[in-house]
Amino acid sequence: MKVLVTGGSGFIGSHVVDVLVESGYDVIVIDNLSNGKKENVNKKAKFYKEDITSKTLKLVFKKEKPDFVSHQAAQINVRHSIKNPVFDAENNILGSINLLELCKDFGVKKVVYASSGGAIYGNPEYLPCDEKHPIRPISPYGVSKFAVELFLNYYYQTFGLSYCALRYSNVYGPRQDPNGEAGVVAIFTNNLLNNKQCIINGEGKQTRDFVYVKDVAKVNLLALEKKCKVCALNIGSGEETSINGLYKKIRDLVGSNKSAVHGPEIKGEVNRIYLDIKMAEKGLGWKPEFDLDKGLKETSGWFRK
């Protein structure tokens, strides 16, 4: 079976590609290399430098005829979406529609979509957020991520295109770019290893749910192979960690005594969030194998190399 992975040279996408290759799938990667790196792509995967917004994407589908699509490509920076919501929508919404039209036209069996559990719920009414929590995003990024879930449902209802939307919390791990991508773990780890100052936005009491990238890659495989036709599932650790607490863990792990400085709060970012992941465990038989300490240890080891 053939799987086309969008954003397959990026941080999360390249790990998804690795898992798919290891599981015996024929993998096609498309990426415009705006954030990803070609050296991240598994040597057993076939690579096309292509953009999901481009009309020429049709040529890849015509040649490769994928059975499944793993849609990881996106504009992922919340702050950038606030500064330029048009760019965010063009990439995340219009690019996804372009992709889904091709999935419909070329008979793709299922789409696994990288959504966001950290952004679509907005400031939570209750914690942890489950999948029944009201959808009230407070950033254009959160709006665009959920908009694609609605389009996926439209393509299922109208054309029978099956899908699974995976609502990621804050994903971290090896290959995350501390300069080009949103990712506080990568930024803190890289800065502290290079004896650079870290900036914590606001008081640092804001919380996030940090999930290790290898756990995310594994759940993408399970979602692709599960026979369910429609699903939207939270993917996280199910644990709440403050940014101050995270900084201390990373500082202790890398052996630094450098203090962080506090900057202004960022509008459009939620104050507290962590996810209820029981549905993913029940529906896919998935639960994270890496706790935060184990994941941070592997991540810091990768950055040291």
Selection from 286, 295, 105, 281 nearest residue 209 by Cα: 295
Q: What amino acid is encoded at 76 in this protein?
A: I
Kindly state the helix (H) or strand (E) to which residue 234 belongs, with its residue range. Answer: strand 230-235
Selection from 56, 55, 38 nearest residue 47 by Cα: 38
CA distance 146 to 155: 14
| Torsion on CA atoms 287, 292, 293, 297, rounded to nearest 10 | 100
| Residue 81 tokens, joined | 């979406």
Q: Could you list the active site residues?
A: 141
Find out whether 174 and 186 touch, Cβ atoms under 8 Å: no
Q: Please report, for residues 109, 193, 204, the alpha-carbon distance to residue 100 in angstroms, rounded to integers and kept in the order given.
A: 11, 42, 39
CA distance 100 to 104: 6
Residue 285: which residues within 8 A CB-CB, separation 6 or more? Answer: 222
